[in-house]
A and B are shown apart, each in its own frame.
Chain A
Amino acid sequence: MSLTTRSPRDGAARDVSTTGRRGTRPTTPGRRHLLAAGVAAYLVTFLIVLPILWIALLSLQPSDTILSDPFSVKSLTFGNYRDAIASLPLLQMYKNTIIVAAISVTAGALVSFMASFALTRMVFRRRAAQSSLRFYLLAGLAVPVYVLLFPIYRLDLALGIFGTYAALILPYIAVSIPFNTLLLTGFLREFPTELEEAAIMDGAGLFRVCWSVVLPAMRPVLATVFIFNVVYVFNEFPFVSILINNPDLATVSLAVSRFQGQYTVNYGGMMAAATLVLLPQLVIYAVFQRHVIAGLTAGAVKG
C-alpha cells in the first residue's frame, strides 16, 4: 500500500514532468488552448472586477457631485476617506471584528468538523439516525436570518450575554454550522478512508486520527470554510445591528450604515468606508489561498 500516490493536489501543474514515460507531452493544440484559456480568464476576471474598481472610484468623488456625476474623473479627492476615518473608530471596529471572527470561525470550524466527522466516518447503531442528523443540521441553510432575530435576541438576554462579544459569537458559531457541515460532510464523503484505517491499525485513537490524518488532508476545505466564515463575520449586518447596543463593540459592518441618515445619505462616505472594509478581506483571502497551496505542493500526506 503506497501512501504517496494518494496525494490530493492542485490542477495539473506537474502533469508533464514526473512520469518517466517517453514521448507523451502536451501537443501544440494543447498549448494554444492554454493561451486561449489564459486570455479568456483574464478577460472574465477583468469584467468581474470592474464594479469593484468603480467602488474605489466612487469613494474618491466629492460627496456633492457623487450622485449627479458618478463617473467623472475631474475632481477626485480623498475627502471621503478623511471623513470616514474621522467619524468612525475604525481601528476599534476592526479589533472587535477580528476578535469575534477569530473566536467564532475557529470554534465554528472545530465544532462542525467534529460533527461532520461523526456523521460521515463513524459507525452509527442506526444508519437512519446518521443521515437524518445530517439533514437536520443542513436544514439550517434554508432559514433566512431575519427569522432568527427576535428569538435570538431573547435568548441572548436570557443567557445574560447581551452586550458582550459572546452575544455575537454564539449566534455566529451556530449560523456557521449548516454551511460548514455541508462542505465538510460533502468532501469527507468523497475522500478515501485508507489513510485513516491505516492509522487506526497502527493504534491511533479518535483524536489522533482526526488531528494527524484527516485534518491535514482536508486543508483546502478547511481553508475554504475559514475564508467564507471570516467574510461572513466581516459583512454580517442583521445580527450586529440588533444585538450590539454598545458602540464600543461595533464591528466594521456597521461602518457603512453609519452614513445613512433619515433624510440624507453620505454616499461618498459609504463608499470610502466600504473600500476600507473591503481591502483587508481581499488580503486575507489572497494570503489564505497561497498558504493552502504551499502546504499542498510540499508533498504527499504521510501516514
Chain B
Amino acid sequence: MIWISSRWKIALMLAPALILFTAFFVYPVGYAIAYSFTNSAGFGAARFVGFDNYVSLKGDPFFWQSVRNTLVILAVSLIILLPASFGLALLLRRIKGAGALRALVFGPAIIAPILVGLIWVFILDPRVGLVNRLLEPLGVGPIQWIGGNTLTPYAVSLVFIWSSIGFAMTIFYAGLQLLPSDIMEAVQLDGATAWQRVRHVTIPMMRETFAIVAILLITNVFKIFELVYMLTGGGPVHRSETLVSYMYFVTFTNQRYGSGMAIAVVIFVLGGVTSLAYLALARRRNIA
C-alpha cells in the first residue's frame, strides 16, 4: 500500500476525524480533568484543591459500592453476553425467516435506555412487577429483584444483556458474513461437524470481531446509567449505583462538579484499562 501512502495523503485522510475528535472529545476530557482538581459547583468561583476530590473518593463508601456494582455487572454481562450473542449470530443465518428474526432480536437495542429501564421496573418490581406476580401463586415469596440488598446488580446485568444482545449479534453477523467463503466451503467438505467447524475455524478467524464486541461491551458497561436510574434511582441509599449514575448524582444532584469530574476521570481510566487488559489477555491466549 506504500504507493498510495504519501505523507500528505495520510494527513488528509486523518485530518477531519482527528480535528473533530480532538475538539469534541479531548478538549472536554481535558476540561473535566482540570475541573476535577477544583471544588467547582459547575459555575461561579472554582478553587483549586489539588487531589482532594480523589482522596475523598477513597473514603467514600458509596463510591466503592458503585465500583463493586459496576464490576459485578461487567463480569456477569461478559460471561453471558459474548457466547450468547455469538451463538445467536450463528443460529440466525440458515433458518427460515432469519432476517426477520434478526430484526426482532435487534429490537431491544433500538429502545432508548430510559424506556428500557421503565418497562423493566414493571417486570422486576418486588411488589407490583410481573415476575413476582407470576411467582406468587406458586408460593414463592416476594423476591427483591431490584431495590433489595444484593440482587440489583444482577438484575441490571440481565436488563443490560437483554438490551445489548441484538447489538452484539449484529456485529458478529457482519463478521461472519465477511469470512472468506472458500475456506468455509473447504472445511465443510472435509466432513467436519458444525461444532468442530465453529471451534477450530470460525472463532479463530473472527478474533478481531470478538475483540470489537468485547471492547464495546466493556466500555458500555462502564457507561451504564439510565438503566439503574430508572430501576432503583441508585437506591436504596446509593446501594445499587453504578459509576456513571453515582457521578451523575454527585455532579448534577449534589452540584459538586469538581468531585463529579474526579469520578468521571476514574471511569475513563477504568474503562480504558479494562479494555486494554482484555486485549492483552486475548492476544496471549490467541483466541477471541
Contact = CB atoms under 8 A, between A and B. Distances in A.
A21 interface: yes
Interface string B156-187: 00000010011100110111111111101100
A53 B183 CA distance: 41
A48 B275 contact: no
A282 B103 contact: yes
Contact of B165 (A48, A115, A155, A289): A48
Contacts of B271: 141-143
Interface in B111-145: 111-115, 118-120, 122-123, 128, 130, 133
A8 B180 contact: yes
A289 to B, nearest CB: 6
Given A58-B122, A150-B28, A282-B110, 13 more contacts: A6-B182, A44-B105, A51-B162, A121-B1, A138-B215, A144-B244, A147-B261, A177-B25, A190-B208, A235-B110, A257-B114, A270-B115, A270-B118
Given A174-B21, A221-B174, A139 B13 contact: no
A70 B122 contact: yes
Given A209-B4, A285-B103, A296-B177, A173 B20 contact: yes
A146 B264 contact: yes
A41 B16 contact: no
Interface stretch (A72-80, A85-93, A95-103, A122-130): A122-130
B94 A12 contact: yes
Nearest to A183: B212
Contact of A9 (B4, B120, B181): B181
B267 interface: yes
A25 B96 CA distance: 20
Contacts of A115: 13-14, 16-18
A267 to B, nearest CB: 8
30 contacts: A9-B181, A10-B177, A11-B177, A12-B93, A15-B188, A33-B194, A44-B91, A45-B101, A51-B119, A115-B16, A124-B5, A136-B21, A141-B271, A142-B272, A143-B25, A143-B268, A146-B225, A150-B31, A151-B32, A170-B20, A174-B21, A174-B25, A187-B208, A190-B178, A200-B3, A223-B174, A237-B112, A277-B112, A285-B110, A293-B99
B91 A256 contact: no
A52 interface: yes
A152 B29 CA distance: 11
A286 interface: yes
Interface in B169-220: 170-171, 173-182, 184-185, 188-189, 191, 194, 205-209, 211-212, 215-216, 219
Interface residues of A, number: 112
A122 B9 contact: yes
Contacts of B94: 11-13, 34, 37
A157 interface: no
Nearest to A24: B189
Contact of B209 (A152, A186, A228): A186
A179 B223 CA distance: 14
Contacts of A182: 212, 215-216
Nearest to B31: A151
A45 B104 contact: yes
Contacts, number: 297
B180 A192 contact: yes
Contact of A37 (B95, B110, B185, B269): B95
Given A71-B130, A270-B118, A19 B181 contact: no
Contacts of A285: 103, 106, 110
Nearest to B195: A33
A13 to B, nearest CB: 6
Contact of B4 (A122, A133, A151, A253): A122
A186 B208 contact: yes
Interface of B: 1-5, 7, 9-10, 12-14, 16-18, 20-21, 23-25, 27-29, 31-32, 42, 88, 91-96, 98-115, 118-120, 122-123, 128, 130, 133, 162, 165-167, 170-171, 173-182, 184-185, 188-189, 191, 194, 205-209, 211-212, 215-216, 219, 222-223, 225, 244, 247-248, 251-252, 257, 261, 264, 267-272, 275
Contacts of B20: 111, 170, 173-174, 177
Nearest to A133: B14
A10 B93 contact: yes
Nearest 5 Cβ contacts at the A-B interface: A142-B271, A174-B24, A11-B93, A115-B17, A151-B28
Contact of A142 (B4, B98, B112, B219): B219
Contact of A52 (B1, B4, B107, B167): B107
A6 B182 CA distance: 7
Given A11-B93, A48-B166, A186-B211, A171 B99 contact: no
Given A144-B222, A237-B112, A114 B268 contact: no
Contacts of A40: 91
A118 B8 CA distance: 11
Nearest to A296: B177
A63 interface: no
Contacts of B115: 55, 256, 270, 274
A235 B14 CA distance: 29
Contacts of B14: 114-115, 118-119, 133
Nearest to A283: B103
